Amino acid sequence: MKHSTVNLGNKKYNSPGNRKDPYLAYNFVVEIDGITVAEFTDVSGLSIETQVEKKTFGGENHREYTFLTQTKYTDITLKHGVMENLFLWEWYQKVVNGNCTDVRHNGSIYLLDDCGNILIWWDFLEACPIKWEGPTFSAASSAVAVETLVLTHNGIQMHT
């Protein structure tokens, strides 16, 4: 039996057989201005959406036209266990106190393999904290105290 090769760009996939599994989402690092400021347990909000406007024109009632309009970047939510490092708290306090100079920072989210090698990463540009949420306490639970920081930003770039 002869195996065919499918050429997709620069990557060759032999069929059947040579399969690559998708990356696992549990091993990641978040840096802000090149510094790892906390060990995050969750990152969400890596999303870009382009809005559309639908219109119909007189005399063409059988057809609807779709026009691309504004592209929006979703806010990024970071969660991590509470520790002594106050970098994220102090960053948000600058915003709360109206000190809006030097509050926007670039950051990166790196997805790693099991050996700690970078597989793929996303840069978020000119991020600024807009919400902080402290931990929920319960005497009936032994869960880790987690704080949440929400960042707004001006764009995402993806790299491999």
For the CA atoms of 47, 53, 54, 59, what is the dihedral angle to 10 degrees? -160
- For residue 89, the SS3 value is helix
In a domain, 29, yes or no: yes
In a domain, 96, yes or no: yes
In the chain, the number of structural domains is: 1
Is residue 63 one of the residues assigned to a domain? Answer: yes
Q: What is the pLDDT along the chain (160 residues), one digit of tens a residue?
A: 555 555 555 555 555 667 788 898 999 999 999 999 888 999 999 999 999 999 988 888 789 999 999 999 999 999 999 988 899 999 999 999 998 888 999 999 999 999 999 999 999 999 999 999 999 999 999 999 999 999 999 999 999 9
**Residue 88 maps to a domain:** yes
- Strands 146-152 and 76-81 come out as antiparallel
Residue 44 CB contacts under 8 Å (≥ 6 apart), including other chains: 76, 77
Q: Say if 2 falls within a structural domain.
A: no
Structural domain harbouring 67: 15-159
CATH number of the CATH domain containing 125: 2.30.110
Q: Is residue 78 part of a domain?
A: yes
Is residue 6, in this structure, part of any structural domain at all? no
H-run or E-run covering 90: helix 87-96
> Of 144, 21, 14, 125, whose CA–CA distance to 79 is shortest?
144
In a domain, 42, yes or no: yes
